[in-house]
Structure formats: structure tokens, C-alpha cells
Amino acid sequence: MVSGKSIQGQKKMNDPKTRFHVNIPFRMLFAGYLPKFIARRMNPEIGFDAEALELHSHEEFRSVSRQLRDHGLEITFHFPYLDLSPGSPDREVRKLTVRRFEQMLPLVSLFKPKTAVCHTGYDSVRYGFMGDAWLRNSLPIWADLARKVAEEGSVLVLENVYENGPSEILNLVEALQEYGVGFCLDTGHQAVFGKASLLEWIVAMSPYLRQVHLHDNFGKKDDHLAPGKGSIDFDLLFKEMKNRLSVPPVLTLEPHTEEDVVPSLQYLERAWPW
């Protein structure tokens, strides 16, 4: 194995590929993309779903973790989210959600990700009539997860998806400050699903902004385009973050095609203010 210190990457720490993360499902990383990430020195944000958790062995997870670590790459995690709802009024749904989170904890211990991103599961269309109850149901689950993630040296960050505006996630993040929980601003989700402006999101959430998921669209579909290929105002985003944050957030690119990876990195090389 080549050690992280012996790689040319020590000379390339100013290369944008080594400063940002690129999302990749674990199944794809395991099935053939791991050598590409290593060769291109791209830090992965590894996404997990039920299939990955059920089908892959601990030894397979360990092998991937070891290779990433030996090549000096930084890791972030994206937890499972489909059909999960920690605030659901259905106890069995909450139990399934906790089970999936518990399955992730040994992987947090193994991979040592810098951050662990989770969707809140809140959607005003489904839960707007019971917002207070949803918060009461979900808080103990998030608190327990955040504590356990922090004990492994990682940070739990909650990402906006279907929230109309920052008020629908701010109360949750604020209630979890004892555990150091942060906020992950997803630019594509804000543009498609949010009703508050990008500036409103930045102003309200900047005290807790620890990570950004960067991808573009035209405000109609969650296209996951390379930045600059849609209509999202990234100049505003970068300017406001630079003015409001003393430390740059973790930044993850979320292209959904391999062809958009290089244009995304090239865009950041020109525009990223830090």
C-alpha cells in the first residue's frame, strides 16, 4: 500500500480536487469508481442506502476505508434517507429510521468521516399540520445520533430538502447545539423546493452553516447540473458566505453524471472565494 505521505498529493494540496468532496454512492465506489477517486485525488462524500447496508460485508467496507485512508483522502458521509422519517407519528417508521442510523454508526467508526449528512425527513405537505409533534418525535432520535457521531470525532449536519424556508429546520438545529449539530445548505434543493430566497437561507442559517451541497438547476427540477449550467446565483452564495463565515464550510459537489465532475471542479477553481 502507498501511504498518504508518500503520494504526490502532498504537492497538490492546492489542487481543487483535494479541497472539495464529490458525492458517490457506496455501491458505485465499490463497483469500480474507487480507483478513479484515488487516481484523481477526489475526496468522496459516500452515500449509503438500505441496499448498501444490507448487501455489503464489514470486510468490504473495511477494504474501501483502508484504501481511502492509505491514499490520504478525506471522507464525508451521506446517511440513508429514502422512506425514513424520525418525526413520523408512526412508531414503526421511527423504529426503522433508528435502525438504519444504528447500522451507520460502525461505519462512522471505521471511516472517520469529517461530517455525516442527514435529511431531516420533514415535509410540510405531509407534516405541516403536526409540526410541533414532528419536532418532539424527532428530537430524541437526532440527539442520540448526534452524540454518538460526535463521540467518533465526526459532526452531524442536517440538510434542507423539502423545507419551504429556514424556519422549518432552524428550530431543529438550534435545539441540537449541545451536540454540535450543523446545517448543510443544499443549493439545488433550495432552488427547486424552497420558497424563501437563497439570501434568506444564508442569513438565517449562517451561524450553523458547516457544509454546502453544490449543484445547479433552473428552479423546476432537481437536475444536479454542474455549477454555472443552471440559474442558481452562486456569486451571491459565495459572497455572502465569505462575508459571514470565519471558516469555510465543507463543500461537496453533487453531479449526477460523470461528465459534470470536471466542469464542476473547474468552476470552483475560478469562483471559490477561500
Task: Give the pTM.
Answer: 0.93
Say how far apart CA 128 and CA 200 lie, in whole Å: 21
What is the architecture of the domain spanning 49-62+79-271?
Alpha-Beta Barrel (3.20)
Sign of the CA dihedral running 154, 232, 29, 161: positive
Compute CA distances 246 → 117, 199, 209, 253, whole Å.
21, 18, 11, 21
What pLDDT shows up at residue 6? 30
Which alpha helices (H) appear in 129-197, and where do they start and end? 131-151, 167-175, 187-193
- Cβ atoms 269, 14 nearer than 8 A: no
Using an 8 Å Cβ cutoff, are 259 and 247 in contact? no
Alpha-carbon dihedral angle through residues 13, 17, 19, 25, given to the nearest 10 degrees: -140
Give the pLDDT confidence score for residue 30 in this predicted structure. 97
**Helices and strands: H and E segment counts in the chain:** 13, 8
What pLDDT score does 260 carry?
A: 94
Task: Give, for all 274 residues of the chain, the pLDDT tens digit.
Answer: 223 333 333 334 345 556 899 999 999 999 999 999 999 999 999 999 999 999 999 999 999 999 999 999 999 999 999 999 999 999 999 999 999 999 999 999 999 999 999 999 999 999 999 999 999 999 999 999 999 999 999 999 999 999 999 999 999 999 999 999 999 999 999 999 999 999 999 999 999 999 999 999 999 999 999 999 999 999 999 999 999 999 999 999 999 999 999 999 999 989 999 9
Maximum separation of any 2 CA atoms in the chain, in Å: 57
User: Tell me, what's the pLDDT at 19?
Assistant: 83
